Amino acid sequence: MDNSVTRDESSVVEGRNAVFELLRSERPIEKIYVAKDMNRDIVEKARAMHIQVSEIDKRKLEAMAESPNPQGVVALCSPIEYCSIDDILAEAERRGEAPFIVIADGLNSPHNLGAIIRTAECAGVHGIVIPVHRSIGITPTVTRVSEGAVNHILISKAVNIKNVIDELKEKGVWIASADMEGSPYTSFDLKMPIALVIGGEDKGITPMIKKASDMVLTIPQKGRLNSLNASVAAAVLMYEVVRQRG
C-alpha cells in the first residue's frame, strides 16, 4: 500500500472483526494485507472469494495502519456509499416499521461514533446521519470500533443538520434530542417515527437544534458526574425506543 496516495478514509478497514464484516458485505474489496502467520481464516476466505491478499511483515503492516494494533489485517475497499434521507425512510418502509433514525451532530471521537453505529445496527436503526463538517467521518478507527457495522447500516452525510431536521419533520418524523436540560426520557412516547439527535462530546446539541426539537430527553444522573459518555447516552435512548416498540 502506497501511503503517499490520498484515499477516502472509509476505504481503509482495520481489525479482524471489521474485515470479516467487510467480507460479508457487498462492498468491492481491492486488496487485503495480512501480517505473516496471522489471520489464516481471513486469508482463506478472501482467496476463496478471489480477493487479492498480500502477506507482509507485521511491523510494516502496523506502520500503514491508523490504529496502534490493527490485529494483523488491513483491507482496501471501495469508499462508503452514502445515502439520502429518502433512502433511509424507504428502508423503514421496506421493513414495515416506523422510521428510526440517529443523527450524530458534532461528534469528534471516532470511538464514540463507532460505538453509536454499532449499537444502532444492533438496535435496528434504519439509518445514521452525520455532518460533513466539524465532525468525525467514517475513519478506519470508526469502522473498527463499529465492528464492521458501517457495512450493514445506511449512512447519510449532511451539509446542514438543521435542514435535515426540517426535512424529516416535513415527512412526519419527530425529533428527539438528548440534553441535560429536558424531561426524563422514559416520560415520552417514542413509538412514533423518530430521529434521535446526539450532540458533540463537549457542548452537546446546539441551541438551534434544541429549539427545533419536538422533545428534549434527559437521562437522570444519580452520581457525582453530570453527564454520560455520548455513545452510552445514545445506547440508553436507542434501546428505550426498542423497548417501547416491543
Q: Which residues contact 49 (CB under 8 A, 6 or more apart)?
A: 23, 29
The pLDDT of residue 7: 58
Confidence of residue 3 (pLDDT cuts 50, 70, 90): very low
% of the chain with per-residue pLDDT over 90: 81
The pLDDT of residue 101: 98
Backbone angles phi, psi at 129, to 5 degrees: -120, 130
In the numeric block, which cell numbers belong to residue 53? 491478499
Residue 226 has pLDDT above 90, yes or no: no
Mean pLDDT over the full length of the chain: 92
Nearest 5°: the CA angle 115, 121, 122 is 90
Count of C-beta atoms within a 10 Å radius of residue 125: 27
* Domains of the chain with CATH codes: 9-77 (3.30.1330.30), 85-245 (3.40.1280.10)
Helices assigned H by DSSP within 160-199? 161-170
What pTM did the predictor assign? 0.89
Residues 96-127: tens digit of each pLDDT: 999 999 999 889 899 999 999 999 999 999 99
